[in-house]
Structure formats: structure tokens, C-alpha cells
Amino acid sequence: MDEFTKRLVHLVHCPRAGWKTIYYALKSDPELKHIYRSNPQFSAHTNESPITIPQSDLLSIPIEKLTSQYVKSGIRMITLFDKEYPPLLKEIYQPPWVLFAKGNLSLLDSRLCLAVVGARDASAYGKAVIEFLLPELVRTGFCIVSGLAKGIDTQAHRTAIRLGGQTIGVIAGGFNHLYPKENKELASRMAEHHLLLSEYPPGSRPERWQFPLRNRIISGLSRGTVVIEAKQKSGSLITAEYSLNEGREVFAIPGSILTSGSAGVHELIQQGAKLVKQPQDILDEFL
């Protein structure tokens, strides 16, 4: 790891150094040579109040020890400036400065990534939809991207694996605090044969606010997002919104109008998302 990468990774570990703080730091000091000065201040514009990175924050983080542990655990740190960083993800608003990755890094080069998201309390119908759609998508070469959450996410990952396909899981929090715990075995398998990603250091505990943010990575890695069962104000709709904002495709699976479980999906269709009745409806947009 070169010195610039080490400094950037160090900043990402700093609780009070958010995305914009690091952005200003890089604007003012592109090689981050001055971050270890006493309480360095950064600002992108002279008329803005400078942002300070408390020196005590950085000094309290044993970055050499931590990065050594990550390497021993098979965790790679890929910065926004590395050639391995996924090109599609670079196009989004506020792409992660660092991706912590575990598994098959070649999946980051996949040109056919498709996000599949939906309800945590997936119904038998939602699971059946995955069994209906994924065989043809996997056979065509799509890598399935999801959030390793309960319900639709879990079903999408497991089905892709069973079909002999590839899958990427994007988590909130770090690898040492996997959520939900019941997916620990699935995560281990994915970390060995597929790919797990997080923008948070491995020791970070998952926080509620991190889940909507990780959805931008799920959609950002993918050429399109498929939404299967989503209530109004569902987190899956946030993923769909990110996809729309980045000019990606959004696909919606219709459900029953008599229940609330697909109300969010039906709103997406009313707003212009493509209604999907068969795998070919998705394939037609890409092939």
C-alpha cells in the first residue's frame, strides 16, 4: 500500500471525516501530506468556513496495525483512484472513497451487474418471482447485486449461487459486525467464492443511517435495478431512486393490488419504471 492510499484509508476510519470532509481535504491537499499536522483545516473555496480534522481522532486510530490485520483476513482496500475501482460506481454522486472488499475482485469488472432488491418480509410470491426470473438472467451472464438483507436480498443471493451464477453483497457496517447475523454462513460463502463490499471499515457497527447510503452502491454497481415487493417508503424505493438519478434502468414486478406489499412497486410503474412479466423484458434493455 502506497503512502497516499494509507492516508486516505486513515481518513475513512476517522468518525468525524465524512465524504465532504475528505473531498475538501483532497481539493486542498491532493496527496494528503498535511493531514498529520496539528488540526489541519481544509476548504474548497476561500469564502467557505474551513473544516477541521481533529488530530486526536487520527492519532487514536492505529492504522498500520488495522491495515495489516485486514490484509491477513483477506480484505482488500480499493480506493476511488485505483484501476480496480468499478467504472460504473465512479459515475454516481459521492462514490465511496474506499471500498473494503472480500472475495472475487474480478466481479468488479462485470459489465452485466443487475441489482435485485425487495421486501425483508418476502412472500411466497416474491420468492417465486426470483425463481422465475433469475435462471435466464444468470444464464445470460448477469451478476446479481443485492444488500444481503433478509427476504428478497437473501433469496436473490442464494438463487444466483445455486444456479451457478455470481453475486455481490453490499453491506452496511463492517465485515466484523455482519447484519443480519443469520446470514453469516451465506456471507462467508460469498466472501470465498463471490464478493462482499462495504464502504465502512471492518470494525464499524451497522447504523440505521448507513442502510440508505449503501443502497447507492448497490444501484451504482448495476446497470439496472429490479424491485420485487416493496411497500410505500420502502428502502428498496431508495435504491430505485438512486438508479433513476444515475440514468440507470428500473424494473418493477407487479403484485396484488389488494395488499400493501407491492404498493411501492406499483407507484414505480406509475412513475415510468418498466413493468416486468418475463426475463426477456429485462434482457431487451441490455442485449
Which residue type is seen at 173? G
* Residue 91: inside a domain: no
| Grid cell for residue 132 | 422465475
Query: Is there a domain that residue 97 lies in?
Result: no
Q: Which domain holds residue 193?
A: 105-283
Give the whole-angstrom CA distance, residue 43 versus residue 200.
24
Rounded to whole angstroms, the Cα distance separating 36 from 210 reads 28
Same-domain status, 226 and 152 = yes
pTM for the model stands at 0.93
- The residue with cell 410470491 is 125
171, 44: one domain: no
Q: Are residues 214 and 117 in the same domain?
A: yes
Smallest CA-to-CA distance from 230 within 205, 255, 264 is with 264
Report the distance separating Cα 222 and Cα 163, nearest Å. Answer: 20
Please check whether residues 116 and 246 belong to one and the same domain: yes
Same domain, 60 and 110: no
Tens of pLDDT, residue by residue, the chain (287 residues) = 899 999 999 999 998 888 988 998 898 889 998 888 766 666 555 555 666 776 778 889 999 999 999 999 999 999 999 999 999 999 999 999 999 999 999 999 998 999 999 999 999 999 999 999 999 999 999 999 999 999 999 999 999 999 999 999 999 999 999 999 999 999 999 999 999 999 999 999 999 999 999 999 999 999 999 999 999 888 899 999 999 999 999 999 999 999 899 999 999 999 999 999 999 999 999 98
Strand, coil or helix: 143: strand
Query: Residue type for 102, please?
Result: K
Helices marked H in 15-151:
19-28, 55-59, 63-72, 87-90, 124-140
* End residue of a domain, out of 57, 72, 87: 72
C-alpha span between 21 and 132 (Å, rounded):
45
